[in-house]
Each structure stands twice: as C-alpha cells, then as structure tokens.
C-alpha cells in the first residue's frame, strides 16, 4: 500500500469514527504492519492537508479525531440551536480543584474551598464522566481519591493535563468553563477567564457559610451559574444536569 492509499484509509476511518481513535486502533487498520511512528507521520500529513478547511484533525487524550473548527460553530448552531448547560460556581470550583490538585479527597476539596462539599456535586461530575475514583488514601475511613478522566480532557479539547493554564495565571477557574483551542489552537486569553485558584474562590456576596454540622450534611449551594460550552462543535452536546439540592 502506498502512502496516499494509507492516508485515505486513515482519513476514512477517522471521519466515520464516533469516538477519538487511539494509535492501537489506527495501527489495526493496517494489520499492525505499520509502526506507530509511520502512522503518526501519516497523521501529521493529513493534519497539514486539512489545514484551512472547516474541519481539522486533532489529537486528544484518548486518540485522534476530526472535528469542526471553533469559528464554524456559530453556523452549525443554527441547525441545532441549544442553550449550553449551566453549572453552579460550586461545581466548577470543585472540578477545578480536582483537575489541578489531583488526586484529592472530598475532604481536601473542602479544606481548599473552606465549605462543605455537597455530595450531589461529586455525583454530577461522576455522572458526567469528568471525574472518577482512582483509589483510597491510607487514612482513617480510607477516603476515596478523586481524579479527572480522559473524557474531561476530550470535552475540553486537550490531550493532557499539562495543557491546562498554569495555576499562577489569571482565570484558572474560568478556564475550566470556557477553555478550548481557538482557530490557531491557542489557549484563550487571560481576559476571557474569570477566577484564580490562588485567590479566594468566592466573592463576599457568594460565600457559603463554613460547615457547622457533620460531614454528611448537605449545605445549600450558591445559586449563580456559569455556562460551560463544549470545545468541539461537532461533539455530542452535553446533556442537561439535575438541579442542585
């Protein structure tokens, strides 16, 4: 098989795939007769060939896929207009802490936020497939250790956690809500973000009262919501989430 035919096989498989394709599956297309380096070289050529089109080839944490470019989203949204799902500030803060400090326990999150974490928040993030339990800490009660998943990176259009904005950069929390590569694959400017984990996570009018009851209590959550839009316009839209208690 010549190079052009091999690229056509890769192109067809990637366009027809419903999920990002890992290198293992891409090599299976050629009965493992092509090395990973050879397949990666073909993918790099495809990436260049699709540059400037409305669709681009990208690599994510779980593999490669074709997706529409961000600047095409305004047009595609006209076909299926939907409001982006909203997540409370408490949910976004919890997700940001897990993303940047993982693995962490629920108690670690509470220590950082200074308020009790409603169990529904953790359940929402687990149901969405953004966090998972990866083990237990050797401490009294053996609390579960939480970490983000590959789906979390895929939904943000990232290939690894190293692509998250640095903690010291402005707007770390906002990055969780709006992060996604622009037309040039660059990260959004700091002005597009809204908070920083190194600063107090709650403004005075948004602060929750510190927990004064047992860890099993479910304190009220802040009412203000922050929209979270998926980075990939062609990706399956995020489903609605149950309102917080």
**Portion of the chain with pLDDT greater than 70, in percent:** 67
- The structure tokens 């944490």 sit at 61
Choose between 236 and 83: higher pLDDT: 83
Q: Work out the pLDDT band at 245, boundaries 50, 70, 90.
A: very low
- Report how far apart, in Å, the C-alpha atoms of 135 and of each of 44, 118, 132, 153, 168 are: 37, 20, 9, 20, 28
Residue (of 170, 166, 163) closest to 199 by Cα position: 170
- Report how far apart, in Å, the C-alpha atoms of 164 and of each of 161, 167, 169, 178, 185 are: 6, 9, 10, 11, 13
Q: Is the pTM of this model over 0.85?
A: no
End-to-end, the C-alpha distance of the chain in Å comes to: 59
Q: How many CB atoms lie within 10 A of CB 68?
A: 17
Asked if the model's pLDDT at residue 229 lies above 60, the reply is no
Choose between 140 and 192: higher pLDDT: 140
Q: Work out the pLDDT band at 148, boundaries 50, 70, 90.
A: very high
Q: Which domains does the chain have, with CATH numbers?
A: 3-76 (1.10.10.10), 86-227 (1.10.10.10)
Choose between 237 and 100: higher pLDDT: 100
Across residues 118-131, what is the average pLDDT?
A: 91
Helix (H) or strand (E) holding 227: strand 225-227
Q: Work out the pLDDT band at 44, boundaries 50, 70, 90.
A: very high
Residue (of 37, 54, 45, 63) closest to 7 by Cα position: 45
Asked if the model's pLDDT at residue 239 lies above 70, the reply is no
The mean pLDDT of the chain is: 74
């Amino acid at each position: 098989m010549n190079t052009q035919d091999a690229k056509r096989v890769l192109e067809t498989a990637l366009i027809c795939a419903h999920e990002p394709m890992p290198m293992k599956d891409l090599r299976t297309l050629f009965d493992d007769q092509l090395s990973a380096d050879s397949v990666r070289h073909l993918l790099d050529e495809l990436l260049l060939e699709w540059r400037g089109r409305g669709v681009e080839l990208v690599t994510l944490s779980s593999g490669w896929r074709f997706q529409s470019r961000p600047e095409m989203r305004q047009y595609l949204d006209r076909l299926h207009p939907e409001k982006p799902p909203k997540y409370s500030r408490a949910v976004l803060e919890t997700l940001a802490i897990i993303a940047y400090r993982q693995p962490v326990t629920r108690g670690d999150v509470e220590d950082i936020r200074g308020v009790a974490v409603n169990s529904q928040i953790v359940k929402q993030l687990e149901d969405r497939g953004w966090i998972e339990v990866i083990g237990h800490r050797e401490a009294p009660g053996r609390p579960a250790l939480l970490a983000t998943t590959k789906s979390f990176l895929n939904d943000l259009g990232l290939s690894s956690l190293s692509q998250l904005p640095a903690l010291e950069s402005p707007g770390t929390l906002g990055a969780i809500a709006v992060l996604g590569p622009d037309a040039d694959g660059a990260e959004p400017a700091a002005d597009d973000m809204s908070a920083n984990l190194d600063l107090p996570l709650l403004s005075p009018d948004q602060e929750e009262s510190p927990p004064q009851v047992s860890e099993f209590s479910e304190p009220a959550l802040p009412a203000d919501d922050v929209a979270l839009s998926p980075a990939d316009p062609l990706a399956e839209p995020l489903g609605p989430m149950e309102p917080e208690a």
